[in-house]
Chain A
Amino acid sequence: KNEVEQSPQNLTAQEGEFITINCSYSVGISALHWLQQHPGGGIVSLFMLSSGKKKHGRLIATINIQEKHSSLHITASHPRDSAVYICAASPNTGNQFYFGTGTSLTVIP
């Protein structure tokens, strides 16, 4: 079983829709990261969370430490949001991230 599980694996939305991507983790963490990867592109760090909620533009990330669950929300989605979104956990011990397998989002005009 992976330490980090993401859902859905693939997601297609119409432009303007509200999108939610979920992440569950099984390890104790110091922080939870949401990353964005465009096709053939690099990785951009969107959020780092250790508690509560963060907002940046149309993106919102939340985390529930007790339930070991985080969500990434995109409001008023746009085709340029099409990318793979990756959840990554920094565990309390050890030196590595644990990555989810990613959610491939396609926003259709």
Chain B
Amino acid sequence: NAGVMQNPRHLVRRRGQEARLRCSPMKGHSHVYWYRQLPEEGLKFMVYLQKENIIDESGMPKERFSAEFPKEGPSILRIQQVVRGDSAAYFCASSRDQGYGYTFGSGTRLTVV
């Protein structure tokens, strides 16, 4: 699924460090969504962004997590002071229009040691 690029594919962080996950949407897509997949669990919505705006962050943990989608460059999901429970696969999806034509990235697998 080369359309939505996520990097890195794998990220290892020690407890207390910061993790930065990047998502470059498909060309022409201005809507970005982040999802988290905890081990042995399904995908859960985290945040929905359009360029320079957070539209819905109802799925984001209240502390340590933040997301942005600047005018130029990829969307960034930032996790400060990571803990072991943050270990998960984080997926990004993009769409041209809200609620239509999603494309998923391959995900970033975060491991906190």
Measured CB to CB, the residues of A under 8 A from B are 30-31, 33, 35, 40-45, 48, 86, 88, 90, 94-97, 99-102
Contacts and interface: CB of A to CB of B under 8 A. Distances in A.
Interface of B: 1, 33, 35, 41-45, 48, 55-56, 58-59, 91, 98-107, 109
A97 B45 contact: yes
Given A44-B1, A86-B42, A90-B99, A95 B48 contact: yes
Contacts of A43: 1, 43, 91, 104-107
Contacts of A35: 104
A95 B46 CA distance: 10
Contacts, number: 62
A41 B108 CA distance: 10
B106 A99 contact: no
A35 B35 CA distance: 14
A100 B42 contact: yes
Given A42-B107, A43-B107, A96 B56 contact: yes
A44 B104 contact: yes
Contact of B101 (A42, A48, A101): A48
A99 B42 contact: yes
27 contacts: A30-B99, A31-B99, A40-B109, A42-B1, A42-B106, A42-B107, A43-B43, A43-B91, A43-B105, A43-B106, A45-B104, A48-B102, A86-B42, A88-B43, A90-B99, A90-B100, A95-B98, A95-B99, A96-B48, A97-B35, A97-B43, A97-B102, A99-B35, A99-B43, A99-B44, A101-B41, A101-B42
